[in-house]
Chains A and B, each alone.
Chain A
Amino acid sequence: MATEAISVRVPGRSAGHDLRAVKVVLHREMLRFVNDRTRMLSMLMQPVLWLFVMGTGLGSLVQGSIPGVDYRTFMYPGMISMTVIMTGMFSAGSIVWDREFGFLREMLVAPVSRGAIVIGKCLGGAIVATGQGVVILAMAGLVGVPYSPTLFATLLAEMFLAAFTITAFGVMLAARMKNMQTFFGLMQMAIMPMMFLSGAMFPLANLPSWLHVLTVVNPMTYAVDPMREAVFSHLNVPAAVNAVLNPGVRWFDFQVPVALELGIVAALGAALLAVGVAEFKRAE
């Protein structure tokens, strides 16, 4: 130890400093994901099973009623959102993991705003989830969806938005959780009904009114529908079939436009993020 100590002056808080914190929390999220191959695979397993096994099986059953469209093509946008949502939730769950293993403490005693940490986490989750979604995007050809650059750009943006919102939701849940089992239990409880009621598995047209109400209040519906809208706009589908498979979302007589749907998802994401930040501030 002959070397002179390198002097470090830690600067006061600034926007630049918070930005660095956001970036490094995000960076860690990605490193963790890239290092964990099993997680990557297991996150892909479920949607692929749904798409190619369930989709093929059910598809042969309903073939007659939807002429000209492969049932798997219908399921495709739903499975993209499913992948994104599962991955985003898992990323959020790592907060609970960090708490159990003490790393959360390292972040919480740092001289940065809680907001920077939570935003970094949500962005990280969203990017990882979008990356996972890209793998499903790559399979488009297998289910008869064209490889169109505009379509993919639209889907990517929508995926990112959905992923950010769901990660924010997960972070909000995880803020108070003490162990992984509770979190994953709760996550299953929240995700399954949201999944089933979102139109990811079956079309939302001609549903009994009680079920219709549930699908309309389900926030995930507004994440899935724009993706389906995007996919179907790039397909040649008979109008009658399109009305069955891609009915959009209706509030009474009002057909909800895609822009509003995306706005709902974004607003929800921002609100959940704010709640998450507030929870971390309060937890001190």
Chain B
Amino acid sequence: MTADPAIAVRGLKKTYGKVEAVKGVDFEVRPGEVFGFLGPNGAGKTTTISMLCTLVNPTGGSATVAGHDVVKERDEVRRNIGLVFQDPTLDGYLSAEQNLRFHAELYGVPKRVVGDRIRQVMEMVALWDRKDAKVMTFSGGMKRRLEIARGLLHSPRVLFLDEPTVGLDPQTRSAIWGYINQLRLTEDITIFMTTHYMDEAEYCERIAIIDHGEIVVIDSPEALKASVGKDRVQIQTADDTEAIKALRERFGLDAAVHEGAVTFAVASGEEFVPRLFAELGMPIRSVSVSRPSLDDVFMSYTGSTIRDAESGDGNMAWMRAMARR
């Protein structure tokens, strides 16, 4: 596909009074891409997504979504996007199907396909058998699934997901990711999402790290991790002191014992392992190679972990303890 970008943003800015929520961001999202906005709460993710969805007027800059200007062609943009908000926007007193029917009518989905399409999107999120139940009886995860189905009902070209899995249990989170991945196969759609979960950003083809209203870096998770540098290798041996000595003598590596294993960093761990076995000169009981995580990436670009950034300067230790549980 050599089509125009699904989303193109130039110097987009939003100020509330004196507070600069978004300080002039530039990026493009390719058609068919899953693009993630990663950043701590209050970094400007929701403000950016709201501007792209025509809910908030930008203070400066410009943006087009599906080829339409978000300020001048608001209706055109709205017709081409699906939205799943952070907070539920369903009518709990209506049944699941009634909620979708309402949406179909409001978006002018052609009458003869409404019924089939509703069934299709509800089956996709495995809610068809609950179609007649009132939405207020749904769990948080079911509501989110229904909202995703609703966001897709009018076959949008771009689907916006604002923190789609926040507040859900791990099982539901992975189910929702299952649906999102499946979506890319069945629908011709671009997905723009925000998240502050590092592990979820991994699912995106490209991510933009946003902090204090500015984009710090944009790249694929792989490239970002590579840019941080080295892999971590841990080995188990019979004699750790001997192993550390051997590593220094033969490979010139600084190793130390961490978490009960000899640990060191190399540029490309997987390629290094065969050499390690061949040349270390002593038996190795086990080996593990770990890539730098997005946490490391976030840390190296913003100077803090995402959890620290969210907790501010205060009770950092407490937050970390909470995060570890």
- Residues in A lying within 8 Å of B, measured CB to CB: 1, 3, 5-14, 17, 20-21, 23-25, 28, 31-32, 35-36, 98, 101-103, 105-112, 284
* CB–CB A102/B105 < 8 A: no
Let me know if B4 is at the binding interface, CB within 8 A: no
Q: List 28 A-B contacts (CB under 8 A).
A: A1-B123, A1-B182, A1-B186, A3-B120, A6-B113, A6-B120, A8-B109, A8-B110, A8-B153, A9-B155, A10-B79, A10-B80, A14-B108, A21-B106, A23-B105, A24-B106, A28-B98, A31-B98, A101-B88, A103-B90, A106-B106, A110-B106, A110-B107, A111-B75, A111-B76, A111-B78, A112-B108, A284-B57
Q: Which residue of B lies closest to A12 (CB)?
A: B79
- Give chain B nearest CB distance to A236 CB in angstroms: 47
Of the candidates A13, A20, A103, A111, the one whose C-beta lies within 8 Å of that of B91 is A103
Chain A CB within 10 Å, residue with most, of B85, B108, B113: B108
* CB–CB A101/B85 < 8 A: no
Q: Which residue of A lies closest to B94 (CB)?
A: A31
Q: A109-B55, A111-B75 are in contact. Are A8 and B105 (CB under 8 A)?
A: no
For B, the interface residue count at a CB cutoff of 8 angstroms equals 41
Which of chain A's residues have a CB closer than 8 A to the CB of B120? Answer: 3, 5-6
* CB–CB B107/A7 < 8 A: no
Let me know if B116 is at the binding interface, CB within 8 A: yes
Which of chain B's residues have a CB closer than 8 A to the CB of A284? Answer: 55, 57
- Roughly how many angstroms separate A134 CA and B103 CA in the complex, as a whole number? 31
- Roughly how many angstroms separate A9 CA and B113 CA in the complex, as a whole number? 10
Q: Which residue of A lies closest to B92 (CB)?
A: A101
Which of chain A's residues have a CB closer than 8 A to the CB of B93? Answer: 31-32, 35-36
- Chain B stretch 50-83: residues in CB contact (< 8 A) with chain A: 53-55, 57, 75-76, 78-80, 83
Chain B CB within 10 Å, residue with most, of A21, A25, A101: A101
Let me know if B174 is at the binding interface, CB within 8 A: no
Having A8-B113, A20-B105, A103-B89, one finds 8 other A-B pairs with CB under 8 Å, namely A5-B120, A5-B186, A24-B105, A32-B91, A32-B94, A101-B91, A108-B55, A111-B108
Which of chain A's residues have a CB closer than 8 A to the CB of B154? Answer: 8, 10
- Give chain A nearest CB distance to B179 CB in angstroms: 10
Which of chain B's residues have a CB closer than 8 A to the CB of A102? Answer: 85, 87-90
Q: A1-B186, A5-B186, A6-B117 are in contact. Are A105 and B108 (CB under 8 A)?
A: no
* CB–CB A10/B187 < 8 A: no
Q: A13-B75, A110-B107 are in contact. Are A8 and B92 (CB under 8 A)?
A: no
- Roughly how many angstroms separate A21 CA and B107 CA in the complex, as a whole number? 8
Of the candidates B83, B153, B155, the one whose C-beta lies within 8 Å of that of A109 is B83
* CB–CB B124/A1 < 8 A: yes
- Chain B stretch 176-191: residues in CB contact (< 8 A) with chain A: 182, 186-187
* CB–CB A109/B78 < 8 A: yes
* CB–CB B108/A106 < 8 A: no
Nearest 6 A/B pairs, CB to CB = A24-B105, A102-B89, A8-B155, A111-B78, A17-B108, A110-B106
- Roughly how many angstroms separate A10 CA and B105 CA in the complex, as a whole number? 11
Which of chain A's residues have a CB closer than 8 A to the CB of B106? Answer: 20-21, 24-25, 106-107, 110, 112
- Roughly how many angstroms separate A17 CA and B108 CA in the complex, as a whole number? 6
Let me know if B272 is at the binding interface, CB within 8 A: no
Which of chain B's residues have a CB closer than 8 A to the CB of A24? Answer: 101-102, 105-106
* CB–CB A10/B155 < 8 A: yes
* CB–CB B110/A9 < 8 A: yes
Q: A8-B155, A20-B105, A103-B89 are in contact. Are A28 and B117 (CB under 8 A)?
A: no
- Chain B stretch 24-66: residues in CB contact (< 8 A) with chain A: 53-55, 57
Which of chain B's residues have a CB closer than 8 A to the CB of A6? Answer: 113, 116-117, 120
- Chain B stretch 120-134: residues in CB contact (< 8 A) with chain A: 120, 123-124
- Give chain B nearest CB distance to A223 CB in angstroms: 30
* CB–CB B182/A10 < 8 A: no
Q: Which residue of A lies closest to B114 (CB)?
A: A8
* CB–CB A111/B186 < 8 A: no
Which of chain A's residues have a CB closer than 8 A to the CB of B108? Answer: 10-11, 14, 17, 20-21, 111-112
- Roughly how many angstroms separate A13 CA and B78 CA in the complex, as a whole number? 11
- Roughly how many angstroms separate A259 CA and B85 CA in the complex, as a whole number? 49
Q: Which residue of B lies closest to A23 (CB)?
A: B105
- Roughly how many angstroms separate A109 CA and B171 CA in the complex, as a whole number? 30
- Give chain B nearest CB distance to A11 CB in angstroms: 6
Q: A5-B187, A20-B105, A31-B94 are in contact. Are A106 and B182 (CB under 8 A)?
A: no
- Give chain A nearest CB distance to B23 CB in angstroms: 23
